[in-house]
Amino acid sequence: MMWVWLWTDIMVWGLVVALVAWGWTISRSPQVKAQWLAIFRSKIAMASAIILLFYLSIALLDSLHFRLALPDQTPGQERQYAGQTTSALDWVFNEIRSQTERTYSAPFALKEHSSSIVKDEAGRVLQQHLDLVHAGAHLADPSQRASDITQKSLFAVAVALALSGLLISLHLAWRARALGRRFGEQAGLVIKGKADLPWRTAYLTFSLGLVILAWLYYLGHYYHVLGTDKVGGDVLYQSFKSVRTGVLIGVLTTLVMLPLALILGISAGLFRGWVDDVIQYLYTTLNSIPGILLIAASVLVMQTIITNNPQWFETATERADFRLLVLVLILGLTSWTSLCRLLRAETLKISQVEYVTAARAFGVSRFKIITRHILPNVMHIVLIAVVLDFSALVLAEAVLSYVGVGVDPTMHSWGNMINQARLEMAREPMVWWSLFSAFVFMFILVLAANLFSDRVQRVLDPKNN
């Protein structure tokens, strides 16, 4: 096995490290810590956060890439690796991924969606729905399907519950130790809903998520739980693969946007004069160009550069990844303006405040003023913008892919799924499952993000206090 670090992998793991570091810093400031605890005191926020964590873990799992060693190697020679890059998620889904059919099939179907012509042994031509190659192959008789599904579902649920029970107990034990309580005491508080945070909701959400995942995963080995697409690919697998695309666009774009908005916004507000003029000119100009045109044009430019330099990429995955990176960069470069404007206004306000002017009069350096006084005081604006933007960006990906300037067409993404589904909806009978899967996976993520951002806004926005 050979590790492959794609650009976006590096970025997203770097972000995780940064987040952990940041979490450690804020845990030392009681004031900020209290704010965050206030956010999580809401049951909805807690449930949303758990859901977001699920999505994030899937995305992270899908951000560990490697190339497997080829079988039949002659010892002594240099090891040869497969040309295909696989991710940890691919590896987990290996069996489901490889169970491709010929063409469309409905969720849990045993036969193809459309009929084909076959010749029987006597040479007669028949019109029938062909059996699927993989789905239900373990069944001796199609009539057993219902009972088989029930049986397997029960098994999956039981395993998931057992697992979540174990993990929850571990967490309980840890909390109990941290708070100096006995295990039973802590458990009782949680069940009554009287713990410091709504842990009951958290545990329930966690168990539910685990049950759903386990059910999908286990049954996915025997049936196409969400059907198959036009060339027989499993839709469940595609939906899971799309998680990374969605989450990364939402998360990494802010990573690109933040430094730009922070540096430009604060310097415009603090230095004023010609710096302010130039920055204002920059963002007004960028804002005046209709957003989607600007994005479309930039994406087309990068696409051209990519096609002209095929030698940069060793595998198709790297190419698609680079395009994702570029899309993220472009979205970041085109979306910093609104946050920048907010930051500029806030900085202007803060720098008028007496203690700041006083600090300046005492000759405190600009850098110190920024880190001591300005940054902490604009942090809430930044946070609110980040969480608000996340869901908007996930939705934007779908629209951009529809217009043809989204992620690489070979990359799994909800936008590409929806795009494809448009044609499928015109069929009779309708092929609804691709659209449905994309809808559900996307809806849950965006809903969770929206609910969470709602709470963040409510707690952090000084207007609400």
Q: Is 290 in the site for another protein (CB under 8 A)?
A: yes
* Residue count, binding to another protein (CB under 8 A): 80
- Taking the least distance from each CB to another protein, the nearer of 186 and 298 is 298
Q: Which of 297, 358, 365, 371 binds another protein (CB under 8 A)?
A: 297
Q: Please, which residues have CB within 8 angstroms of residue 268's CB and are 6 or more apart in sequence?
A: 275, 276, 279, 280, 340, 344, 347
Task: Look up residue 393 and give its two tokens.
Answer: 């960006």
Q: Which of residues 378-417 bind another protein (CB under 8 A)?
A: 391, 395, 398-399, 402-404, 408-410, 414, 416
Q: Is 29 in the site for another protein (CB under 8 A)?
A: no
Q: Which of 30, 273, 310, 363 binds another protein (CB under 8 A)?
A: 310
Q: Which of 35, 153, 338, 450 binds another protein (CB under 8 A)?
A: 450
Q: Is 454 in the site for another protein (CB under 8 A)?
A: yes
The answer to whether 220 touches 234, Cβ cutoff 8 Å, is: yes
| CA–CA separation, 131 and 395 (whole Å) | 37
Rounded to a whole number of angstroms, the minimum distance from the CB of residue 379 to another protein is: 22
DSSP symbols for 137-150: TT-SSGGGHHHHHH
| CA–CA separation, 54 and 31 (whole Å) | 28
Rounded to a whole number of angstroms, the minimum distance from the CB of residue 264 to another protein is: 16
Rounded to a whole number of angstroms, the minimum distance from the CB of residue 306 to another protein is: 9
Cα–Cα distances (Å) from 109 to 118, 136, 265, in that order, read: 19, 8, 56
The 139-178 site mask, x for binding another protein (CB under 8 A), equals ----------------------------------------
Crossing angle of the two packed helices 433-460 and 30-40, in degrees rounded to 10: 140
Composition of the chain by helix, strand, coil, percent to 5 = 70, 5, 25
Q: Which of 28, 31, 192, 307 binds another protein (CB under 8 A)?
A: 307
| CA–CA separation, 403 and 297 (whole Å) | 12
Q: Which of residues 224-263 bind another protein (CB under 8 A)?
A: 229-231, 233
Q: Which of residues 54-113 bind another protein (CB under 8 A)?
A: 77-78, 80, 83-84, 102-103
Q: Which of 265, 455, 456, 460 binds another protein (CB under 8 A)?
A: 455
Q: Is 115 in the site for another protein (CB under 8 A)?
A: yes
User: Measuring CA to CA, which residue among 91, 97, 87 is closest to residue 134?
Assistant: 97
Residue 464 Cα to chain centre, angstroms: 29
Q: Which of residues 422-441 bind another protein (CB under 8 A)?
A: 422-430, 435, 439
